[in-house]
Amino acid sequence: MDRFAGWGGIATRSDFAGRDDLWEYCLSLQRLFAAEASQLTVAFDEEVYPIGDVELVYIANASVNALAGAWDGRECIAMFTGTAIRLMEVAHAHFPPAYANALTVIAVHYVFAHELAHLAMGHVAYLVKDQALLEYGDSAAHKRDPRARLRRFLEFEADTGAVTLSLPFVLDVVREASINPFSDRTASDADLMTLWAIAVGLVYTAMHQANPGGHSHPPPIPRYYNAMMLGAAVAARRDRDDDYLDALGVAHEQLQRMWAANGMRPRRRLSWSSIMKMDDDIPEAQQREWLELARARAARLR
């Protein structure tokens, strides 16, 4: 029996709305994660958490959503086909075809990386107590509801793990892949970092557009700014600080045009405030609960 029948079942080529290229991209990412997941780790707050043997699947569902949880005793990330399709649609609406295809692949990878971080960082195990799944559409009645505040905190925290997986993927894997949009696969680190930054902004834009009334996730533009600050640390470890700053400047100009076309206006002071006050919402004792679950999971996998 298909474990995901309630959401639409495991997707096939026909569920990608005739976008055979997108189907092939998604299969390639699925194979890549299957081959490398056991070696991947999420770095957070000076600790390292292994990903482990996590299954990645696509669900035949037109909604824009992704799930992190465990089914039949196995941890799994399930992305709805509507998510991949929407990411490709938005990318192609604003960028040339080759560049848009690369953005789509990086964006799909980023969504998977974010959900993997939820697993590795103990979030899923913590929420299992409430029989909850981590999914985009799960929202409380009001943004000040304690559950909604907790979920937004966890989303920011998972973004940290997503960045540590996603930016190296672009610099190391996309650079050498056929999806590289630059001629003869030649691209500077700044070019690739720009590509990555735009793809991250694309994820938050598309997901927010599809779920505009939810309170379980932070607003898209604060999340983008937060991710870019996190990416600076990854760039610094590679001694690419200057390239990174140049890349962000180029990416921001592109994203501003995309945000304006979609009726989104960044309010920088509000964005910064929402990020810096996030830690005040959740007591440290509560944070230690899922931290201990993450450590226990890591110990089992080592």
Q: 164-216, pLDDT tens digit by residue?
A: 999 999 999 999 898 999 876 678 889 999 999 999 999 988 887 777 665 56
Query: Residue 156: which of 232, 231, 87, 217 has the closest Cα?
Result: 217
- Who wins on pLDDT, 213 or 276? 213
pLDDT in tens, 215-268: 567 777 788 888 998 898 888 888 887 889 889 889 999 998 888 887 776 555
Please name the residue ranges forming H helices in the chain.
20-36, 81-94, 97-120, 123-127, 146-168, 189-210, 220-237, 241-261, 268-276, 284-301
Q: How far apart are CA 59 and CA 150, in angstroms?
A: 27
Contact present, 272 and 228 (Cβ < 8 Å): no
Mean pLDDT within 133-154? 65
Predicted confidence at residue 81, as pLDDT, reads 97
CB burial of residue 30 (10 Å; 0-12, 13-18, 19+): middle
Predicted confidence at residue 73, as pLDDT, reads 84
| pLDDT of residue 270 exceeding 60 | no
| pLDDT of residue 140 exceeding 60 | no
Question: Mean pLDDT highest for which of 128-132, 194-198, 258-262, 282-286?
Answer: 194-198
* Token pair in block for residue 210: 């599809």
The proportion of the chain whose per-residue pLDDT surpasses 90, expressed as a percent, equals: 49
pLDDT in tens, 57-98: 999 999 999 989 888 888 999 999 999 999 999 999 999 999
- Who wins on pLDDT, 150 or 294? 294
- Who wins on pLDDT, 159 or 129? 159
- Who wins on pLDDT, 275 or 234? 234
Predicted confidence at residue 141, as pLDDT, reads 47
Query: Residue 154: which of 129, 111, 124 has the closest Cα?
Result: 124
